[in-house]
Structure 1
């Protein structure tokens, strides 16, 4: 049975290749966050400084999935 994702907020910093961003968690840890294809329409609103909702697996805290905008949750 898969583990439930860990949900948190983060701030986008630098755009990387494709749909990937460098994001920072509230505790200061930086990670790579990617935008899934189903949320591709959100891409134009993602800019450095944007607060987003992030989902992470409990097994890897260096990567996350962007789940939406934090201010619209």
Structure 2
């Protein structure tokens, strides 16, 4: 059975292509985030400064899948 993905969030710092982005995690580390085909319509909403939810595998901490735009809470 595969391990479940690690869920985290980050801020888009740079668009590398239509579906590949440089994302800065909350700990300051930068990773490559890719947008899966099923979320391709979300690409027009992704720009530098947008906070996104990410899923990462426990085997590779250099890249992650963008799972959506993070919800903002006004605390």
Same fold (TM over 0.5): yes
Task: Write out per-residue CA displacement over residues 24-61 of structure 1, whole angstroms, 9 at most, x where no aligned residue.
Answer: 00000000000000000101000000000000000000
Q: CA shift at 1:18, angstroms?
A: 3.8
Moved over 4 A (4+): none
- Give the unaligned 5+ runs of structure 1: none
After superposition, residues 1-73 of structure 1 pair within 5 angstroms as 1-71=1-71
- Give the unaligned 5+ runs of structure 2: none
The CA distance in 1 between the partners of 2:4 and 2:67, in whole Å, is 14
Q: Secondary structure at the match of 1:2?
A: coil
Q: Secondary structure at the match of 1:66?
A: strand
Structure number with higher helix proportion: 1
Count how many residue pairs are aligned between Structure 1 and Structure 2. 72
The CA distance in 1 between the partners of 2:35 and 2:57, in whole Å, is 15
Q: Which has the larger radius of gyration?
A: 2
RMSD: 1.0
The normalised TM-score by structure 2 is 0.92
The normalised TM-score by structure 1 is 0.94
